[in-house]
Each structure stands twice: as C-alpha cells, then as structure tokens.
Amino acid sequence: MALANCKTCGRLFNRLHNDNCPVCVKEEDEQFFLVRDYLKENRRAMIVEVSEATEVEISTIIKFIREGRLATIDNPNLNYPCDSCGTAITDGRFCKPCKDRLNRGFSQTKDELMDTARKKQGGDYYYKRERDR
C-alpha cells in the first residue's frame, strides 16, 4: 500500500503506477477519447479548435501529446509552443534546436562530473594501474 495525493484533485488514493486517483484517470481517459475521436474526423484541426470542440483543456491535450498518447503525425496542425523558446512543435517538450542545445548542456555537465569523480578516485594512480594490466 502506498498512499498518495492525486495530482489533479488532491484526493488520497492507493498509488500503484499513476499520479492521479482512479476518478481522475477515468475522467482523463474520457477526455482522451473525445480528443482522439475529434482528431480522427478533423485531421487539420488546431489545438485551440480541438479544445473548443471537445471542451478539453489545451494543457491536457498537450499533455496527451507529450506523453505520446496522441500521435500528431496525422494531424499536422496540432502543435504547441516549445517549453524553452515558444516555437511551434508537435512532440516532446522542446523544439529541435532547443533539444540539441540542452543535450549539449547535459553532456557537458556529465563530463565535468566524471572529471571530478576521476580526481576523487586518485586520478593518475587509477589510470596507471589500468594501463599496466
């Protein structure tokens, strides 16, 4: 038993693998089907139109896309702003340039961390031993 507060309504529930309680999960599922069905009929719909037609919050629709639940391949106009710069994107959280930039940033940090770790491990000694083997 792992009790947790639902991320959506705050209700206490037995957390298995969801951040939301069963009530909210069901509600969200219903919203998802609404959106999905609407998009099947209206392939060129924009996110605002989908939201208006289905009465599902734009943020919820974006969440579906980010989670990979809604495929945007068939719906070219279904885009939303990149989390970093606001460019229109159709999957994930960031546009390609931002993703590249972030990836570079991450690997740089990783290298720096490795460097520090190496120094802590006694640096030279460790490497000499590796070479002599």
Q: Which residues bind Zn ion (CB under 5 A)?
A: 6, 8-9, 11, 21, 24, 82, 84-85, 87, 95, 98
Between 31 and 45, CB nearer to Zn ion: 31
Q: What is the 3-state secondary structure (H, E, C) of 30-58?
A: HHHHHHHHHHHHCCCCCHHHHHHHHCCCH
Is beta strand 12-14 parallel, antiparallel or unpaired with respect to 3-5? Answer: antiparallel
Between 7 and 40, CB nearer to Zn ion: 7
What is the closest distance, in whole angstroms, from the C-beta atom of residue 65 to Zn ion in the complex? 15
Copy the structure tokens of residue 42.
């209206």
Between 85 and 114, CB nearer to Zn ion: 85
What is the closest distance, in whole angstroms, from the C-beta atom of residue 75 to Zn ion in the complex? 20
What is the closest distance, in whole angstroms, from the C-beta atom of residue 11 to Zn ion in the complex? 5
- Tell me how far apart the alpha carbons of residues 55 and 123 are, in angstroms, rounded to a whole number: 60
